[in-house]
Structure 1
Amino acid sequence: MVKSLLNSVNNMFSHEDLGRLLLRLVVGGLMLFHGLHKLIGGIDGIAGMLVSKGLPGFIAYGVLIGEVLCPILIILGVLTRPSALVLAFTMVVAWLLVGIGETGTLDVTGAWAIESIVYFFVAALVIAFLGAGRYSVAPAWK
């Protein structure tokens, strides 16, 4: 009886392409909020951080690629794997700029201080490994 129930549940949830779509929508959608904030509010803060580390401030425009363009492409399922890798790289840069000093700390609620950076990094890698799946705007460009 238990085996039959488990098989039924497994069959009911065995929809890999739907899982890929849900993952793309959540990761791309949540990252897009970060990118739209920078698109509307500006990237001066990021440019300032880069300059303070001896890097040219214009590199800050890369955040718009990593946090606006790539999430849109991920959501649509267009150039999904390259976009996911760019998003993962963006998270490495975010960690180096703002999270490296907090890597071993917890925030006020007890969560890992760089939890969201790690979440987006790992989720982007998962998307890069899985690809867009069947439910995408351009399945041939996955």
Structure 2
Amino acid sequence: MKRRKLTFWLIVAAVLVLDRITKELAPGIPAGGIMLIPGVIGLRYAENTGIAFSLLSGVPRLTGVLGLAVVAGGYVWLRTKDIAPFPTVALALMAGGALGNMADRLIRGFVPDMIETLFMNFPVFNIADSCLTVGCVLMMISLLCRPKDWAKL
């Protein structure tokens, strides 16, 4: 259990560091953007004052406080639980992504986004968003394919 908690915090820290680095570099992206893989993915700087898909735009501090409450509540509930390795990774990715975006909402009043899909019309997103999404997918896989991991909770 101790090793899983260390793994959890190392993943959270890695997500936060990578997210912070990319968000600090994002304002330097040229106005026309940068094509990384033609027709597939590029970089374009955007500022999002809302949550997913710009929902609740214009109230970033409120969404930041709500995010803080969810992360804190999850931490308090889960800190004494013995969670299996697969869900531990999923939760760590989700926590790191949530904390990264929450910090930006509270400090900056917006979340910097920079990753743009060119093959479909999709909002610009960031590393924290990606980690949240991957964490959610892993969590769904865990819940559907490994329900015994959740029996003790």
Coarse TM-score class (shorter-chain normalised): 0.3 to 0.5
Query: Higher helix fraction: Structure 1 or Structure 2?
Result: 1
Over alpha carbons, which structure has the higher Rg?
A: 1
Q: TM-score, normalised by structure 2?
A: 0.35
What TM-score do the two structures reach when normalised by structure 1? 0.37
More strand by share: 2
